[in-house]
């Protein structure tokens, strides 16, 4: 009898550990229940299709027939096409984030033939500083009294007051 009690005791101690591991596993899988599905964006240039392109042999019409229209062209030079694609995810309580991004740049010569094909990565990106300044506009700052009493006497009978005299009748018209 004593030997059966000793074999039962370690088994009873393992159950709380198993229950704890089970609870931890459920918590970790529960995190993925609230994750939104991946959303593909842009025009994805399939690597197998890009490999079929040859510089100096094919032109713009061939590229467009194979990959479709570009996501963007060069700002100052339309001889460069960009195929931009990304996968984004939106999670509750968070801003949308890009989980992966791919940019394929194709340069053309003056004849419209492919000159160069390259894939751009994070090392090619530049940080753009956003300026928070605003341009002040004279006359837009109102005091509290102007805000409270500014509209008194503006509108007269039938909606016509000193500031609203109809078309062509005000000063400077």
In the predicted model, residues of the chain with pLDDT beneath 50 are: 12, 173
pLDDT of residue 79: 92
pLDDT of residue 173: 47
Helix (H, G, I), strand (E, B) or coil at 88: strand
pLDDT of residue 33: 57
Task: Read off the pLDDT of residues 98-110 as tens digits, 9 standing for 90 and up.
Answer: 778 889 999 999 9
Q: How many residues does the chain have?
A: 173
Handedness of CA 69, 73, 77, 79 (dihedral sign): negative
Task: Read off the pLDDT of residues 137-149 as tens digits, 9 standing for 90 and up.
Answer: 777 677 777 777 7
pTM of the model as a whole: 0.54
């Amino acid at each position: 009898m004593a030997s059966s009690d000793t074999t039962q005791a370690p088994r009873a101690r393992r159950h709380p550990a198993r229950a704890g591991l089970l609870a931890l596993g459920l918590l970790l899988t529960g995190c993925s229940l609230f994750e939104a599905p991946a959303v593909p964006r842009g025009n994805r240039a399939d690597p197998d299709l890009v490999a079929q392109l040859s510089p100096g042999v094919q032109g713009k019409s061939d590229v467009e027939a194979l990959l479709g229209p570009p996501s963007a062209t060069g700002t100052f030079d339309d001889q460069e096409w960009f195929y931009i694609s990304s996968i984004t995810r939106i999670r509750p309580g968070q801003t949308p984030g890009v989980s992966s991004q791919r940019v394929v740049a194709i340069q053309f010569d003056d004849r419209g033939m492919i000159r160069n094909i390259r894939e751009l990565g994070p090392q090619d990106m530049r940080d753009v500083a956003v300026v928070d300044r605003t341009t002040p506009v004279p006359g837009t700052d109102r005091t509290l009294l102007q805000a409270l009493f500014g509209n008194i006497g503006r509108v007269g009978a039938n909606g016509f007051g000193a500031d609203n005299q109809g078309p062509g009748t005000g000063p400077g018209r």
